[in-house]
A = this chain, B = another copy of it.
Amino acid sequence: MAENLPFTKPEYARRIDKTRKAMAKAGLDAVFVTDPSNQAWLTGYDGWSFYVHQGVILTMQGEPVWWGRMMDMFGGRRTCWMDHANIIGYGDHYVQSTERHPMQDLAAVLSRMGLAKARIGVEMENYYYSAKAHAVLTAELSGAALEDATALVNWQRLIKSDEEISFIRRAARISEKVVRVAIDKAEPGVRKNDLVAEILHAGITGVGDDWGDYPAIVPLTPSGMDATAAHLTWNGDPMRAGEATFFELSGCYRRYHAPLCRTVFLGNPDDDMKRAETAQMEGIEAGLDAARAGNRTCDIANAFMDVLAKHGIEREGRMGYPIGLSYPPDWGERTASIRTEDETVLQPGMVFHFMPALWMDTWGLETTETILIREDGAAEALCDVERKLFVKP
């Protein structure tokens, strides 16, 4: 067993148990889990090796099996809680080969485990389960039934344990730090990349003993017209007076996130932007108040949209998602969404990035919170940074 595991054995046992209940409900004998976040959540596996095929095999009994590239087996031994016998590797001649595919090895492993004729759940909609992987596995395991188990594990992650919430709270301290650095150091003439360097430095040094891990998304820091687009990163241009810059950032503590966005205006924003700020802040308050156990995700979205409508501002699209443990390319959990058509019932321990950004024709305004659904009352915003458009005249 690895030293220095992030979580206790009972916590991992809880996760395995919860997942098996979902498997039983879906009538599955086993799941093959490719999402790196799901792998880490079940086994502790942690390494930047998800660019080759790897995954966790979980059946209804015994320890899960981590399967990956031979050289990453050693990373498995350093990070997983299972017996070394349950950490297995395939040869390097399978890696990015034009002749062989790692799924040939996986099929042999599954057969040896007695699963050649089993009902096996696979994550059809995942970055790390390619169309080719599925085609090869299907062909090699012709006696098995491969069922779509996309997000089966992700849904088990929706309600966080106390251990997990403590990790997210630590990430939140780091998020506060990086957002404050961004706000403090943003000035006309500062090159954007130099500012991002400060942000990353602040995040990775962390807060006290809570060292910073890499967030699953790099800093998104667009200014002016670039901020009308949601997902631009940075360049070497100097910041300019008269422009808004939004900072979409997150601290990360041992793979757990607490995203937090704020917007800075260098100069004096016009009345349109000020009106949008007023509407956004009032809408966030309304959303937080609607984010109560027993309500639904759509209630949060509708509360925000009602305020926006009152202020005569149009907006479409999703405005949030559950967060926690994650690996690139996304820090969202890809299950529930905060949107008007999503009816997931809120329960204590759920954590969302409530993200009602406004991307307008010539500027963008992002002010967001990571929120925890409580037993009673409105949701708790886990970060403590003043909620407003930051204006630096």
Contact = CB atoms under 8 A, between A and B. Distances in A.
Contacts of A229: 47, 71-72, 74-75, 77-78
Given A48-B217, A75-B230, A201-B198, A132 B125 contact: yes
A194 B71 CA distance: 27
A92 B341 CA distance: 11
A236 B206 contact: yes
A334 interface: yes
Nearest to A235: B211
Interface string A229-253: 1111111100000000000000000
Interface string A310-354: 000000111001000000111010100101010000000000000
Contacts of A79: 232
Interface in A195-249: 196-198, 200-206, 209-214, 217-218, 220, 225-226, 228-236
Contact of A197 (B49, B124, B200, B341): B200
Given A131-B122, A359-B71, A197 B204 contact: yes
A21 interface: no
A274 interface: no
- Chain A's interface size range is 35 or more
A131 B128 contact: no
A288 to B, nearest CB: 22
A46 interface: yes
A14 interface: no
Given A130-B126, A230-B72, A231-B72, A317 B47 contact: no
B132 A150 contact: yes
B317 A71 contact: yes
A127 interface: yes
Contacts of A212: 193, 197
Contacts of A205: 193-194, 197
Interface of A: 4, 46-51, 70-72, 74-75, 77-79, 91-93, 95-97, 122, 124-135, 148, 150, 191-194, 196-198, 200-206, 209-214, 217-218, 220, 225-226, 228-236, 316-318, 321, 328-330, 332, 334, 337, 339, 341, 359
Closest 8 CB pairs of A and B: A211-B236, A92-B317, A131-B134, A75-B229, A51-B330, A124-B132, A74-B229, A197-B204
